[in-house]
Structure 1
């Protein structure tokens, strides 16, 4: 995809109005790309949802591809800002040689941020857009951006944190396997959109149900982390991955 360019606009009040319109288009596009995928979301439908005429999309983003990349940039920047406090909390806990309770709480903090991203509107539509990419239904733009700018730095921190909790090393196979196990606790609620609703017997996940899911997952995570801490590094085969 081509890089997104921001065309020139009129000065003074035009900038504020233009930025508000641009953001409104991005918000509508994230929702429709998440619901229908890149090919299924038409520029006409996005313009209608944003309350603008179709030429406005070309004015701000040049093309549908440019709009999609702008959505990916927005999602990535938003997630970086929301993960920053919990990432700092982990870094501080590791530097301060914190006790087990503080270490577990640090892990639960970053997990809570992830769960909010998956479960809570309007973050849900952002997760759906990324989910479409992971399912091969949209170009891998947001997922690659997130992998490079957010997931790799977070994974490095989480491996160090889990290694401290479990008395292992970050590069041990068991450390990585257990990190994937914890991530798996959330995947049933992530993609495909709404796949968990039938089993739950729900039509939607509202704020109360989101809180219920979050509490259940975090309770299970705490139980696993404390169990792994007591067990040390076992079971482990082969050491390094």
Structure 2
């Protein structure tokens, strides 16, 4: 009689649960009050753990702050890394054949990336992310470098390659970098200036219809990317 092997689902330990609770709470509190304004007691009380949990799992409050940045980078990447890898792979595949991605395919990939970002950054889930990220944009710490290396840099690189194809310019040019920054910024504004956007658009909430409207805007923004006309 053959033995049947059964895979058991990993059940998180008490330590893993406590560690994740602290990180989730830290993402919210650090975003609201900043590093200096968030005390270890606030973190402990919100997570429902004892005061020694922070030094035990993270070494210090500073260690928890960096772990929070790593967690945030991982959360964002869980939504975008597969698509980013697919696009990068296709660009390299075409390059290996001595060719360049067509404008149509580059436009399609860029639209797909921006639509995913639009849906992600106007979702309720991204509210605490935005608070944390905005603080790091204003006064960068080591946490900013963690998030930039994990998420922002690879996304900028892939986006710049696609925009470079559409503009028929080098992806590393300042002009291409400015265009990709403005593209991403035109979507992030719906999160970082959420109240103003909602007021101007007279939206009461962001649901499927509103997400679709913003994703339609993506198509317009990408369609507008054309090579600069050379003046004679």
TM-score class, shorter-chain normalisation, is 0.7 to 0.9
Q: Deviations over 1:3-43 (max 9, x none)?
A: xxxxxxxxxx9971110111011111101111222122222
Matched, 1:106 2:109: yes
Matched, 1:85 2:73: no
Matched, 1:154 2:155: yes
Partner of 1:60: 57
Q: 1:56 to 1:158 in 2, by over 3 A?
A: same
Partner of 1:3: none
Q: 1:41 to 1:168 in 2, by over 3 A?
A: same
Matched residue SS, 1:179: helix
Partner of 2:175: 174
The aligned runs of 1:218-233 (5 Å cut-off) are 218-229=215-226, 233=227
Matched, 1:131 2:134: yes
Q: 1:144 to 1:44 in 2, by over 3 A?
A: same
Between 1:171-180 and 1:64-73, the stretch displaced more is: 171-180
Aligned-residue offset at 1:83? 1.9
Aligned-residue offset at 1:77? 2.4
Matched residue SS, 2:190: coil
Across the aligned residues of Structure 1 and Structure 2, the Cα RMSD in angstroms comes to 2.9
Structure 2: gaps (5+ residues): 1-9, 95-99
CA distance in structure 1 between the partners assigned to 2:165 and 2:88 by the alignment: 12
Aligned-residue offset at 1:174? 3.4
Partner of 1:6: none
Q: 1:200 to 1:59 in 2, by over 3 A?
A: farther
Aligned-residue offset at 1:202? 6.1
Matched residue SS, 2:75: helix
Q: 1:42 to 1:196 in 2, by over 3 A?
A: farther
Aligned-residue offset at 1:151? 1.9
CA distance in structure 2 between the partners assigned to 1:185 and 1:219 by the alignment: 13
CA distance in structure 2 between the partners assigned to 1:142 and 1:197 by the alignment: 30
The aligned runs of 1:1-241 (5 Å cut-off) are 16-94=13-91, 95-96=93-94, 99-136=102-139, 140-191=141-192, 194=195, 196-200=197-201, 206=206, 208=207, 211-229=208-226, 233-235=227-229
CA distance in structure 2 between the partners assigned to 1:182 and 1:14 by the alignment: 42
Number of aligned positions between the proteins: 216
Structure 1: gaps (5+ residues): 1-12
Aligned-residue offset at 1:101? 4.1
Q: 1:202 to 1:35 in 2, by over 3 A?
A: farther
Aligned-residue offset at 1:73? 1.3
Partner of 2:6: none
Aligned-residue offset at 1:193? 6.8
